[in-house]
Chain A
Amino acid sequence: MQDEPSPIELTKAVADFLRSDITPLISGHQAFKLRVAVNILDLVTRQLTREQASDAKEVERLRALLGIDGEVTDLNRVLADRIARGEIDLATPGLAEHLWATTMDKLAVDQPNYASYKRELSRG
C-alpha cells in the first residue's frame, strides 16, 4: 500500500496551483496551452475519483449481457464484436441501458459540461 496524499489529492493540488497562481501571469497562446493543461489535470482527477466504481458496474452489466467473465477491456471487445456480427442489437434486453449508463459515466469524466450530457443528466 502506498502512502498518502492520494494521487487524486496530488493531481488536484497541481491543478489548483496552476489555475490560481500561474494563470494570472500568462497570456496569449501560452495561456491557451495552460488552460488545456489544467483541463487535463481536472479530467485525470475526475477519472481517478470515479473510474473504479464505474468500471465495476460496467463489468457487472457486461457479464449479465454477455454471459462471460473478464476484464472490462476484454468484455468491451467481445461486446463490440458481437454487435458487429449482429448477434446483439438494440432489441437485446439490457443493451440500450448498458450503453447509456457506460456513455454517461464516460462523459462525467471527459466533458461534464457537454450540452447533450447535461440534458440527459437532467432526465435523471
Chain B
Amino acid sequence: MIEAGLSRSVVRWCPGATGVTGAAKLSGGASQETWRFDITHPDGVIGAILRRSPKGYGAAPTRAAGLAAEAQLMQLAFEAGVPSPRVMHVLTPDEDLGTGFIMQRVEGETIARKILRDDEFAATRPHLARQIGCVLAGLHKLPLDKLPELRSRGATEEIAEFERDYRSLNWPKPVFELALRWLRDHDPGPSREETLVHGDFRNGNLIIGPDGVRAVLDWELAHLGDPMEDLGWVCVNSWRFGEIDKPVGGFGSREELFAGYEAAGRKCDPERVKFWEVMGTLRWGIMCGGMMQRFREGPDHSMERAMIGRRASETEIDLLRLLAPRGS
C-alpha cells in the first residue's frame, strides 16, 4: 500500500517515472521509518530511499533537528561536495505519506564490522581516517546563513543536559560521576567559532564503498556548536568495533584525522577533541541507561533493548582508560 502512495508521488515530480516497485522497510521506530524502493523509469531503475514520520507522528524528539531540516542539510552538503545522497523530493501534505523526504539511494556498506573486516574494503581502510577528516572539514565549512534553523549547543549546556539525563535514570554510577566531574573541570567553554555540527558522525552512519566514504547519513542530531565535537565523537571507543588502537572508527589514528581536516583548510584543537571524546563516551553510556529504562517502563520490552542496558559497563571501562589509565 505504501507502493501505491509512492507511485502517485514519483510520477508527479520525477519526469518519465511510471511507478515504484520493491518497497521494503529498512528500519523503523514508532516515530520515524526508513524505506528503500525502486523508481521505474524508461532510462533504467532509480534506487531511492524514503525517510518519514508516518501520519500522526509529526513531533520530533527534543534533540532532533526534524526531517525537513535533515533534508535541507543533506542537500546543502551534496551541493557543497560533501559525500551525501541527493534529496529528490520533500513530501507534501496532499501526498498522504506523512512528513519526510525521498533521496537517491547510495550503494555501499554501513555495517561497521564488515567495513573493518571484509576484503573488499582492505584497500580503502588505511585512507579512511584522513578522508573522514576531509569530509568533516567540508561539513563544518557549510555556510551558516544557508542552514535551516537548528538548536545551538555548547560544551557547558551539553554537560548540564547529560547530567540531567543521567540523574533522571536514578542509576548511581561512580564512574559516570567521576566523568561528569572531569567534564565540568575541563569544560573548554564556548568555541571560538560556531559551525554546523553533524552530531552523530561515526562508523555505522557512513556509507562506505571500496572507493571510500560515499555518503554521510543520519543528520537528525545536527546542531550548531563546537566543530571539535564531531572529531571527538568519531573517536569514541564504542565506534571502533574492536579495533581499539585505531581511534578514528577503527580505521586509523587521530593524527591522520587531524591531517585530513587541516589539509582541507581548517584548524584542529586536540584538547577540545579529547574533551568531546570523554563527553561522547559518557553520552553513549547514558543512552544505554535510557534504553534500559525504556525496556522497563516503555512499550519496547525487547531482549535487544534489555541487553543494551548491559553495555553501559563498556563505556565505564573506556572512561577509566581515558581518565585513570593504569600502568602509565
The answer to whether B244 touches A83, judged by C-beta atoms less than 8 angstroms apart, is: no
* B317 and A120 within 8 A (CB): yes
Given the interface pairs A80-B172, A123-B326, the reply to whether A99 lies near B320 with Cβ below 8 Å is yes
A111 within 8 A of B: yes
Whole-angstrom distance between the Cβ of B108 and the nearest chain A Cβ:
22
Q: What 0/1 pattern do residues 162 to 181 of B give for CB contact below 8 A with A?
A: 00000000001111111011
Complex-state Cα separation, A107 to B313, whole angstroms = 6
B307 and A99: CB pair below 8 A? Answer: no
Q: Are A103 and B320 in contact (CB under 8 A)?
A: yes
Residues of A contacting B237 in the complex (Cβ-Cβ under 8 angstroms):
116
- List the A side residues contacting B310 at CB < 8 Å: 43, 110-111
* Chain B CB within 8 A of A86 CB: yes
- A36 & B303 in contact (Cβ 8 Å cutoff): yes
Contact present for B317 and A103 (CB under 8 Å)? yes
On chain A, the residues within 8 Å of B177 by CB distance are 80, 83-84
| Residues from chain B with Cβ under 8 Å of A48 in the complex | none
Question: Residues of A contacting B175 with CB < 8 Å?
Answer: 99, 103
Cβ B320 vs Cβ A100 within 8 A: yes
| Contact among B242, B311, B313 for A103, CB-based, below 8 A | B313
Is A40 part of the binding interface, using a Cβ–Cβ cutoff of 8 Å? yes
- B30 at interface, CB cutoff 8 A: no
Does B321 make an interface contact (CB < 8 A)? yes
Q: Which of B290-328 contact A (CB under 8 A)?
A: 303-304, 306-307, 310-311, 313-314, 316-318, 320-321, 323-324, 326-327
Cβ B174 vs Cβ A76 within 8 A: yes
Q: How many pairs, one residue from A and one from B, have CB atoms within 8 Å of each other in the complex?
A: 87
Interface hits, A36-84 → B, CB 8 Å: 36-37, 39-40, 43, 76-77, 79-81, 83-84
Determine whether the beta carbon of B324 is less than 8 Å from that of A77.
no
Across-interface contacts of B304 in A (CB, < 8 A): 33, 36
A96 at the interface (CB under 8 A from B): yes
With a cutoff of 8 Å between Cβ atoms, the chain B residues found around residue A83 in the complex are 174, 177-178, 181
Task: Name the residue on B nearest A36 (C-beta).
Answer: B303
> Does A99 contact B178, Cβ atoms closer than 8 Å?
yes
Contact B320 A90 (CB under 8 A): no
Query: From A37, which residue of chain B is reached at the shortest CB distance?
Result: B303
> Taking A33-B303, A119-B244 as contacts, is the C-beta distance between A90 and B323 under 8 angstroms?
yes
What are the 10 A-B residue pairs with the smallest beta carbon separation, nearest first?
A80-B172, A83-B177, A106-B313, A115-B242, A77-B172, A96-B324, A110-B313, A115-B244, A110-B310, A79-B174
12 contacts between A and B (CB under 8 A): A40-B307, A76-B174, A80-B177, A81-B172, A86-B181, A90-B324, A96-B324, A103-B317, A104-B317, A110-B311, A110-B313, A116-B237
